[in-house]
Structure 1
Amino acid sequence: MIIEKIVTNIKELDPSELESRHKEKVYLESAHLVKRIQRVETDHGRELGIRLKDNKDLKAGDILFMDDENIIIIDVLSDDLIIISPRSMHEMGTIAHQLGNRHLPAQFEEGDMLVQYDYLVEELLQELDIPFKREERKVEQAFRHIGHSHD
């Protein structure tokens, strides 16, 4: 089966629509959410080809296939993350500037900044005395680098 578009996301479905269907999941690393063409396998052993026509990243909960009896959903494997919890706008600005200079992609959840684990970032946070913790956590979308050049 070739998947060329996302049907919807489970957040958009009524819970009763999920209960009545046989569910299969495709587990992806967050880095693979940006790949428009890939071969994947569901947790039930069904092989799928993904060839998305839209230039849009996959997200956790995206539905690849749905009929009256079955549904195939994207799920994301946990990432090794650093969860940064700055205490002030000054700390947020300081660490955002430092990580921006390294072109390190980040995501934000509530008051926290999430970055993929890097021992150099861990050392920097310790040196700057900015609160953080290391945690395995699922993210809904890929860590995406923003294109930029220093001309």
Structure 2
Amino acid sequence: MIISEVKGNIRDEKAMQSHIERVYLRSDELVKRIQRVKTDHGNELGIRLSKPKDLVDGDILYRTDDNMIVVSVMEDEVIAIRPTSIKQMGEVAHMLGNRHLPAQFEGEEMIIQHDYLVVQLLTELNVPHTIEKRKMKEAFKYIGHDHE
């Protein structure tokens, strides 16, 4: 079976009486328009999205009256950075920006993918941070950039 469009998101569904099969993806796989996957029931499918769209946790790839195939994002190992001042946040953002590391923000936290060199830097600078496993809502995306 080839999936060419997302049929909605399970969070938007009112009452779900359907059986649910899950496709487990890493967050970096959410940006791939073409890929071959396998459900937790062993069914293989191809994903070839006709319109450019990043997948998100809970996307419904297939639906019948009694069955759904839903994207489930696996947890990433991330660094949750919690600067204590706007100055510290600016310094951290500048240093991480120079490394071209993609970041996401939730509340007062800056979240990046785990990198032992960043952990070492944050520890040396006494910036509050934790290493956690989190289910990210979207993929970490690199922003195209060159130094010309």
TM category, shorter: over 0.9
Question: Which of 15, 19, 25 is 1:22 aligned to?
Answer: 19
Matched, 1:143 2:128: no
- Matched residue, 1:5: 5
Which residue type is aligned with residue 2 of structure 2? I
Match of 1:115 in 2: 112
Query: Is 1:93 aligned to residue 105 of structure 2?
Result: no
> What letter is aligned with 1:9?
N
Aligned to 1:55: 52
| Same amino acid, percent of matched pairs | 54
Normalising by structure 2, what TM-score?
0.97
**Pairing 1:33–2:30 present:** yes
Name the Cα RMSD after superposition: 0.8
Alignment partners' CA distance in 1, 2:51 and 2:25: 19
The TM-score, its normalising length taken from structure 1, stands at 0.95
Corresponding residue pairs, total: 148
Q: Distance between the aligned counterparts of 1:146 and 1:68, measured in 2? A: 40
**Superposition pairs for residues 126-141 of structure 1, below 5 Å?**
126-141=123-138
**Over residues 59-115 of structure 1, what are the superposed CA-to-partner deviations in whole Å (9 max), with x where a residue is unaligned?**
111110111111111011111111111111111111111111100001111111111
Q: Equivalents in 1 of 2:77, 2:64: separation in Å?
A: 35
User: Unaligned stretches of 5+ in structure 2?
Assistant: none
Task: Spell out, residue by residue over 1:29-76, the C-alpha distance to the aligned partner (whole angstroms, 9 max, x if none).
Answer: 111111100000000111110001111111111110111111111011
Alignment of 1:62-77 (within 5 A): 62-77=59-74
Q: Deviations over 1:100-149 (max 9, x none)?
A: 11000011111111111101100110111110000111111110000001
4+ runs deviating over 2 angstroms: none
